[in-house]
């Protein structure tokens, strides 16, 4: 008995000292991992002018996997699903940020034509391009006012107009904005009339948006058909399984049946991919 107690105490002390030695290493690895993730997240939030404290970002990054895993455990008590949910908790913050970026970019694109009209009117009134930007800041809502405020501040700090506009183009990544920046650069080099150029570019962007709207309206039927055809086999398989749980046994108990099921799954995935690809039209 005394030997067992001694072995238990020795094992406990060994585990304690091992944990004491391993913990700093794990703490350093986790800390570096969090720092790398935050290095990716923080600049993207800054570009959207969202001031989120670093401590809150760390807390969200730690809590999200735990919460997703806990909810999955409460609902399913399946450790495979719990692990997948915890991984999803790590990925979802990036997905949310990407959706926020896309929404902000679309909002900026929708404001661009009105912004060009403001710039054109300001130039007609005799203002310089920098003053036209300041007028745009006063009259337009975010995110356009935020982006051009940054452009004006960079110019006032000594950054060239070309560099400030290039930084704007790099932040927003919009084809319409590329047209505007290119038009400004060409006009400055060749001495073109920016007032007319802004009006023409605004008209071009407006007509392009109308064309995109028509294309999307024509493609919506194909997209809906693709979604229905993608979901239908899955719904049918679930329905059949609910009606007769042994219906697929002939496939699962046979090597040929397993190959056929694998082929069906791969074909379904490829079909969903190609339907999505073919129903997307780039203009």
User: Number of structural domains, the chain?
Assistant: 3
Per-residue pLDDT, 228: 79
H helix runs in the chain, sequence order: 2-47, 54-76, 79-124, 129-139, 144-156, 161-172, 175-190, 194-243, 249-252, 255-278
Residue that finishes a domain, picked among 157, 189, 207: 207
Q: What CATH number does the domain containing 121 carry? A: 1.20.81
Q: Are residues 127 and 165 in the same domain?
A: yes
CB atoms within 10 A of CB 194: 19
Q: Are residues 19 and 94 in the same domain?
A: yes
Print burial letters for 207-231: b (CB count within 10 Å at least 16), e (below 16). eeeeeeeeeeeeeeeeeeebeeebe
Per-residue pLDDT, 13: 46
Please indicate, yes or no, if residue 265 is contained in any of the structural domains.
yes
Work out the angle at residue 50's Cα, subtended by the Cα atoms of residues 49 and 51, and round it to the nearest 5 degrees: 110
Please indicate, yes or no, if residue 154 is contained in any of the structural domains.
yes
What residue numbers bound the domain in which 257 lies? 212-278
Please indicate, yes or no, if residue 218 is contained in any of the structural domains.
yes
Q: Is 119 exposed, middle or buried (0-12, 13-18, 19+ CB in 10 A)?
A: buried
Residue that finishes a domain, picked among 102, 135, 164: 102
Q: Are residues 168 and 225 in the same domain?
A: no
Please indicate, yes or no, if residue 231 is contained in any of the structural domains.
yes
Which residue do the tokens 């650069």 mark? Answer: 185
Per-residue pLDDT, 143: 86
Residue that finishes a domain, picked among 159, 187, 207: 207
Per-residue pLDDT, 86: 75
Per-residue pLDDT, 17: 47
Per-residue pLDDT, 49: 65
Please indicate, yes or no, if residue 69 is contained in any of the structural domains.
yes
Q: Are residues 117 and 203 in the same domain?
A: yes
Per-residue pLDDT, 102: 86
Q: Are residues 110 and 202 in the same domain?
A: yes
Per-residue pLDDT, 19: 46
Gap between the Cα atoms of 100 and 96, Å rounded: 6
- pTM confidence score: 0.66
The pLDDT tens digits along the chain (283 residues) read: 555 545 544 554 454 444 455 545 555 555 665 566 666 666 666 676 666 565 666 666 667 777 777 777 777 777 777 777 777 777 777 777 788 888 888 888 888 888 888 888 888 888 888 888 888 888 888 888 888 888 889 888 888 888 888 888 888 888 888 888 888 888 878 777 888 888 888 888 888 888 877 777 777 776 777 777 778 877 887 888 788 777 777 777 777 777 887 788 788 778 777 777 776 666 5
Q: Are residues 143 and 218 in the same domain?
A: no
Q: Are residues 13 and 92 in the same domain?
A: yes
Q: Are residues 200 and 112 in the same domain?
A: yes
Please indicate, yes or no, if residue 283 is contained in any of the structural domains.
no
Q: Are residues 84 and 114 in the same domain?
A: no
171 in Cβ contact with 147 (< 8 Å): yes
């Amino acid at each position: 008995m005394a030997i067992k107690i001694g072995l238990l105490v020795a094992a406990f002390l060994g585990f304690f000292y091992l944990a004491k030695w391993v913990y700093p290493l794990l703490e350093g690895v986790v800390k570096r991992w969090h720092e790398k993730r935050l290095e990716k997240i923080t600049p993207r939030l800054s570009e959207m002018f969202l001031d989120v404290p670093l401590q809150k970002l760390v807390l969200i990054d730690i809590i999200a996997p735990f919460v997703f895993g806990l909810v999955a455990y409460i609902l399913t008590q399946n450790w495979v699903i719990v692990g997948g949910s915890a991984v999803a908790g790590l990925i979802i913050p990036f997905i949310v940020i990407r959706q926020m970026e896309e929404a902000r970019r679309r909002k900026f694109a929708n404001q661009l034509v009105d912004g060009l009209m403001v710039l054109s009117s300001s130039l007609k009134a005799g203002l310089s391009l920098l003053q036209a930007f300041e007028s745009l800041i006063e009259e337009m809502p975010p995110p356009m006012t935020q982006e051009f405020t940054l452009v004006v501040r960079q110019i006032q700090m000594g950054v060239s107009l070309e560099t400030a506009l290039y930084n704007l183009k790099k932040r927003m990544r919009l084809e319409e904005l590329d047209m505007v920046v290119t038009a400004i650069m060409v006009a400055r080099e060749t001495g073109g009339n920016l007032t007319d150029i802004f009006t023409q570019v605004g008209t071009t962007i407006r007509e392009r948006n109308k064309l995109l709207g028509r294309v999307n309206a024509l493609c919506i039927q194909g997209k809906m058909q693709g979604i229905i055809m993608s979901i239908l086999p899955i719904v049918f398989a679930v329905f059949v399984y609910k009606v007769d749980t042994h219906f697929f046994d002939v496939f699962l108990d046979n090597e040929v049946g397993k190959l056929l099921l694998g082929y069906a799954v791969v074909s379904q995935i490829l079909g969903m991919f190609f339907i999505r690809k073919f129903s997307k039209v780039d203009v």
